[in-house]
Amino acid sequence: MKILCLSNGHGEDAIAVNILKHLRQTGVEIAALPLVGKGKAYQLAEIPLIGETETLPSGGFIYMDHNQLWQDLQSGLLGLTFQQYQQMKQWVKQQQDSNLLILAVGDILPLFFAWKSGIKYAFIGTAKSDYYLSQASKGSIYYPWERWLMQSPRCLGVYPRDSLTAKNLARYPIKVFDYGNPMMDIFEDISKPINPTTTIVLLPGSRSPEAETNWSMILQGVDSVINTLTEEPLLFLAAIAPTVDLDNLETILLNHPWQKTTESIDFLASKARIFRQKQAIIALTQEKYSTCLVRGQIAIAMAGTATEQFIGLGKPAIAIPGPGPQYTRFFARKQQQLLGESLILVENPTEIGKIIQSLYQDTEKLAKIALNGQVRMGKPGASATIAKSLS
């Protein structure tokens, strides 16, 4: 069996990699075509890419801003999309094996490509959830034309991200499987530690130069926490995507009153960069991502997938809407619809210290947030189950 995976985003790439690793273990021959960006997650997992990859100005977030769409069009969006379609068709044509499958991960674009391939396909819907609906128990977040693509006899399975979305899709003649959320599978093998120190995760996003802008805003929130929780040591774990240049974030840190130190943190890799100010430490790392999220008690977040994964662990995140192109006010409000009370939006980063202080004193609210996050984001273990159903 041979599978070509199509995905359209950094988070989608990472989700796809989890599933493809399981498929590879069963002897399935795999390849990938990232429709957005360079496909770094595939490269790190040594999954072969077909064709050339390219990063456009929006980073895939054209639905956030019409200006971003215009910039992408000027940079060759239509030509790139057509080229990617041709690459997929060429892959199908070149295969000698008749047992072929397209695995579409993301939203309508990879799903449409999969349908146009002319061969069997499956769809993992990462972008949409019925929690986005104002009356989530009625109808479906997916448009009729999206559901039509899912109803094709060639579509072997649709795997929504949560039980509510799966339940509502099952009302239509679609092969729907509620196997959990593959986004949560990066945490499967990590036991939950006991943290003696107040530990806060910092998530500035995965796309430059937006991540650097977000980082400056997040540091205002960090200052607020330091000035509010003055009597206790604080550890801030900055989980930075490999697509962001750490040197840029370090420069911004050093322009604040942070000093670089030679200290180390036992559960982080040796490449982590450590900075100190007053009673607080910031660790910048591009490794141990899942460890950072598990260790953290609260997050200050301006990210998409990472924020959702953190909340799925049953923890609260405080979000600051930024200038974008991804983490805009529109995006943050939609994300709050998805995640409910687990995501707290603030207009001003200086509010964050008081909010965290209040959260620590409200055990009843934290218990509700813990349950809500697990319900909204679904159970782990989906990657292996999905792979088994496809192989």
Mention the CATH class of domain 2-186+379-390: alpha beta
- pLDDT tens, residue by residue, 314-350: 999 999 999 988 899 999 999 999 999 999 999 999 9
Q: Mean pLDDT throughout 1-11?
A: 91
Do 2-186+379-390 and 198-377 have matching folds? Answer: yes
For all residues of the chain together, what is the average pLDDT?
89
CA distance 379 to 180: 5
For the CA atoms of the chain, what is the radius of gyration? 21
Q: What is the pLDDT of residue 62?
A: 43
Spans of all domains in the chain: 2-186+379-390, 198-377
CATH dotted code for 198-377: 3.40.50.2000
CA distance 83 to 105: 19
Q: Do 129 and 161 contact (CB within 8 A), yes or no?
A: yes
Q: Is the peptide bond before 380 cis (omega within 30 degrees of 0)?
A: no
Task: Identify the band that residue 84 occupies on the pLDDT scale cut at 50, 70 and 90.
Answer: confident
- pLDDT tens, residue by residue, 263-284: 999 888 788 999 999 999 999 9
Q: Look at strands 273-277 and 280-285 and give their pairing.
A: antiparallel
Q: Mean pLDDT throughout 202-231?
A: 95
CA distance 52 to 386: 28
CA 280 to chain centre: 28
- Dihedral sign, CA of 85, 61, 161, 193? positive
- Dihedral sign, CA of 344, 348, 353, 355? negative
Task: Identify the band that residue 118 occupies on the pLDDT scale cut at 50, 70 and 90.
Answer: very high
CA distance 182 to 195: 26
CA distance 203 to 265: 19
Q: Look at strands 317-319 and 343-345 and give their pairing.
A: parallel
CA distance 280 to 260: 12
* Out of 49-53, 204-208, 226-230, 277-281, least confident range: 49-53
Q: Is the peptide bond before 193 cis (omega within 30 degrees of 0)?
A: no
CA 357 to chain centre: 27
DSSP state, 268? S
Q: Model-level pTM?
A: 0.85
